[in-house]
Structures are given as C-alpha cells and as structure tokens.
Homo-oligomer: A and B are copies of this chain.
Amino acid sequence: MGIVLGPNRYGKAEVRLVRVARHADRHEIKDLNVSVSLAGDLAGTHLTGDNSAVLPTDTQKNTVYALAHRYGVGEIEEFALLLARHFVDSRPPITHARVGIDEYAWRRLGGHSFQRCGAEVRTAVAHHGAGGAHVVSGLRDLVLLNTTGSEFRGFAVDGYTTLPETRDRILATAVTARWRHARADGDWAQSHAEARRHLVAAFTGTHSLSLQQTLYAMGSRVLEHRPELCEVRLALPNRHHFAVDLTPFGMANEGEVFFAADRPYGLIEGTVRRDGAPDPGPAWE
C-alpha cells in the first residue's frame, strides 16, 4: 500500500495587530491576534519542495497589516472574511482559507487612553472556499460563578464512588462558547453582544441540577433568541470549589470557606443545535 499526503494547511499564526483609528476628538483601538491557514494545491512543496504555489507566511502577515490599514478593522467576523476572501480570490492555487481572530477588549479611560479589561477573549473564525463562506463567533475565558443555586444529586453510584450528594455548592466555570451563523453576514456586533448576554443570563438564572443542565440551558437560550445562529458548542470546565472541612477545629462550615482547586477538574462539552440547521461544512475546523 502506498503512502499519500492527506489534508494539509499552512499559514501565519498569532499576528498581533493593534489598529488605531485617530479621530479628531478621540482615538479608537482594536487589539487582535490573527491566525491565517491556507489550503489548496500544495502537494508540490510537500513532495518535492516545489514552492511555486506557496505564498510565504511572511506575506500573509504583511497582508494582515496592509489590509488593516487599507480597510480599517471593524467587527472581527468581517475582517476575518475579508482576509479569507483575499487569499482565495488572489491566489489561484489556494482554494480554501481559514482566518481565526481573537480580540482583546480595552476600556476607555480618556480621549486616547485605555485600560485592558479582563481575561475574556472574543473569537471569530471565518472559512472561505468552494462551499462558500462560513462564520463561527464565540468567546473564551469568561469566568462565571454562582455561590448557591447549584445541586448535584441522584447520580449513578458504583464501587468507586465516594462523593456525597449536595443540595448547595458553588458552581464556577470558564466558558468557552462558539456559535455558528447560518449565513456569512449580519450585524456581527449586535449578534455577539446578545449571544453573550443570553449565555450569562442562562448561567446566572438556572437553578442547576448539573453543569450539563446549565450547559444546555445556555446553548438553547442563545438559539431561542438569535435566529441568525444555528448551532452552539460549549466547553465548560467545572472549577471545583471544595468546602473545607473545619470540624477538626470545632467549626461548622456552612458554605462559607472554600478551597479553589486547580486540577483535576470536571469538563462538560456539548452541542446544542437547531433542527434542520444547514450543513456546517468546514465551519468548526
């Protein structure tokens, strides 16, 4: 049996771009981390080192900066689509482009002064290729915590089970959420703000019997309110907060003193989708 080249792609990862728009009275800032991956007729470089179809990753980096200058940077979904289309449309051997962008948020302190806010990152991935364009928006490192309103009972028990049931625990997680758009256009800013708002509202508003239940509540609430979206994928680490046993010291710890553990952690992953959603194609890759 022969040995063959399978799926492959290449590009420049983590191009750190800060774009300033200098208005007369105040400046605007966009702080992005852009990663490009191109695919197409690239067997030559793999098999023989023929690079004639290879647009250097250095050129891809230059292109990110040049297009940011020429067109400005609006919503990251739009800029990702612009870049993806540029590479496919301008380079015949390139038949597919994936552009992923992370956006870091800054809070305004003055006309030209800013404070970086939070660990939360807004994300977007755009694909452009033979099957058209696909956009997945999202966020990560949104850390949420409820001090009560979370139970975990009635679970399966086997010979290795020692966990007691609880009717009141801390529930904390760092949300990674991605949601797929049915079409590659729309009001990206509003869509993101609203999807995020519904995720948070579902987390805080759900009396949780399991983190799985909270996950489904988060995903389904987004789909119920945002018709432009057709699928939500969530990864929710269960950041365990263990009530410290203070009985050796004559104290009753009634949900007041907790040890925030690092590892191990529970990890709940799930998809919520609209029945009859269009085929995702490469959207999640």
Q: A-side interface residues toward B, CB under 8 Å?
A: 1-22, 27, 29, 31, 35, 37, 42, 45-59, 61-63, 65-66, 68-70, 90-91, 93, 106, 109-110, 112-119, 142-149, 152-163, 170, 200, 203-204, 208-210, 212-213, 215-216, 220, 223-224, 231, 237-238, 241, 244, 246, 248-249, 251, 253-277
Contacts and interface: CB of A to CB of B under 8 A. Distances in A.
Given A22-B255, A48-B213, A249-B159, A112 B270 contact: no
Contact of A51 (B7, B117, B142, B152): B152
B203 A267 contact: no
B266 A154 contact: no
Contacts of A249: 62, 66, 159-160
A145 B257 CA distance: 33
Given A66-B249, A224-B3, A170 B13 contact: no
Given A66-B160, A156-B53, A223-B3, A15 B264 contact: yes
Contact of A56 (B52, B59, B163): B163
Given A146-B113, A204-B109, A274-B3, A259 B37 contact: no
Given A69-B256, A153-B51, A212 B46 contact: yes
Contacts of A70: 251
A89 to B, nearest CB: 12
B267 A13 contact: yes
Given A3-B275, A51-B153, A266-B12, A46 B213 contact: yes
A6 B113 CA distance: 28
Given A268-B10, A273-B3, A143 B116 contact: yes
